[in-house]
Amino acid sequence: MAVTAPLLRAAPEDAVILAGFDLPGFGLAGPAAADDRATAVRALERLICDCGRYGFAKAHVLHPSGWAERVAEALGTLPSVSPRPMVEARAASAPLAGLAAIAEGRTDRLMVLFGPAPVEANWLAILDHQGPSEAGAVGLLPCPDTGRGLAFGLAGGLALPAGAGGAAPGLCSLAVLDCTALRAAAGTGDLGAFLTHLAAAHRLGGWAMPAATGPRASAILPLRPERPALFLDRDGTLNVDFGYVSDPERIVLLPGAAQAVRRANDLGFYVFLVTNQSGVGRGYYREEDVHACNAALQRLLRAEGAHLDDIRYAIDHPDAAVRRGDGGWRKPEPGMLVDLMAHWPVDRARSLMVGDKTSDVDAGRAAGIAAVKVAGGDLDAVLRPLLEARAPGVLQAEQAEGSPNGEGAEGEAANGEAANGDMAPQFGR
């Protein structure tokens, strides 16, 4: 049975990168980063690239005037990667003043990245930690030295000012903040004081982030580190297959679909969509309709704290009236998977292709990827043991102890049977 996504608050469309400000307690965003130009430029490039893969339409780079050259260098040398957000650089006298200016006239939320070190944990997971009465939430990394500056405790899902009780304090790595609260705070002080005020008023959610969130910023930081990938079919796997789905309103998630994508995100996988769309080649609908449907799918997933890193689709078909010359992209050919792996550093040995048709399994096998055929039931329940067995080490251990997605299927799927009995995965290599 199909289920629609719950009426959740939409994920932020814009992210703000704080670059070069002296922010005590926020890691390396201050002078420590500014001392090394090459490191600062590379870290900024990485954060912008990550904004694209998390589905942000726009990345605002907020910086003091003294950082204008560094920001210009980063934007000038930014590789032509896709997906890539629109980027706007803005000088500001202080972070809070700059955030308030970006929030002017808006009623949504902003994702705020304190940088410059990359955040390897799933950014969108922070959305779980902002309650309906809270003005935002902060992601906290372990802080053994609370003397470094601003820190927060954590109790009952709320961030508390350091010393006010709760779990061991942590330092901010990222935040999600309501634009209305940012506008109201304009001219009232610095960002640290603003966040502390929200915490003292019990209006700031808190997220204890995984302890190991990736490498520190450096001049040789990879823009896209190697990861295992989850390749997913669309219609019939993630959403209901009504037959030649071309209306975004008919993108209806299947049970466990968003949870499975979220689990892969949380475990450190790249997640790619690979979908045959022969309806374009047959003349039933346009490529613009494919883009609109994929965008609707991404919105539904992001509202659940999940995201697709990149998308490929094939329009050709032997009976196509319109041809683009996809060159072996249509499944069961492996072209879409091969192209994604040419643009992303994928660990093939730990990757997985999942779909509801034999052609999906054949495409995975042809690309050298383990493949699973699924049909009906809860997608997350069947994929959980398969993903956890392939996940990067640290995140694998932490997610196995307790996933925000709740309890899934127990044990390994073996002999072609899923633990819940509703799905029968069929493997191919």
Quick: pLDDT tens for 312-332.
999 987 776 566 655 689 999
Quick: pLDDT tens for 413-422.
333 333 333 3
CATH number at residue 395: 3.40.50.1000
Residue 352 included in any domain? yes
Residue 362 included in any domain? yes
- Residue 399 predicted with pLDDT over 60: no
Q: Containing domain of residue 270, as a range?
A: 229-428
Residue 7 included in any domain? no
* pLDDT score for 18: 92
- Residue 411 predicted with pLDDT over 50: no
- Residue 423 predicted with pLDDT over 80: no
| Mean pLDDT within 130-151 | 78
- Do both 256 and 372 map to the same domain? yes
Q: Give the tokens for residue 308.
A: 């697709």
- Do both 313 and 404 map to the same domain? yes
- Do both 233 and 202 map to the same domain? no
Q: How far apart are CA 196 and CA 206, in angstroms?
A: 12
- Do both 200 and 252 map to the same domain? no
How many domains does the chain fold into?
2
Residue 219 included in any domain? no
Residue 311 included in any domain? yes
Residue 18 included in any domain? yes
Q: How far apart are CA 31 and CA 202, in angstroms?
A: 31
- Do both 163 and 291 map to the same domain? no
- Do both 315 and 235 map to the same domain? yes
**Which is more confidently placed, 341 or 34?**
341
- Do both 173 and 256 map to the same domain? no
| Mean pLDDT within 34-48 | 81
- Do both 202 and 318 map to the same domain? no
* pLDDT score for 7: 38
Looking at the annotation, which residues are catalytic?
233, 235
* Average pLDDT across the chain, whole number: 83
- Burial call 380-411: b when 16+ CB within 10 Å, e when fewer: bbbbbbbbbebbbeebeebbeeebebeebbee
| Mean pLDDT within 200-215 | 81
Helix (H) or strand (E) holding 339: helix 335-343
* pLDDT score for 171: 79
Q: Which residues pair with 311 in a beta bridge?
A: 273
- Do both 165 and 313 map to the same domain? no
The residue with tokens 């071309």 is 246
The reported pTM is 0.86
Residue 216 included in any domain? no
Quick: pLDDT tens for 227-269.
999 999 999 999 999 999 999 999 999 999 999 999 999 999 9
Q: How far apart are CA 256 and CA 377, in angstroms?
A: 8
* DSSP-derived secondary structure letter, 235: B
- Do both 102 and 149 map to the same domain? yes
Helix (H) or strand (E) holding 271: strand 270-276
| Mean pLDDT within 25-49 | 68
Residue 57 included in any domain? yes
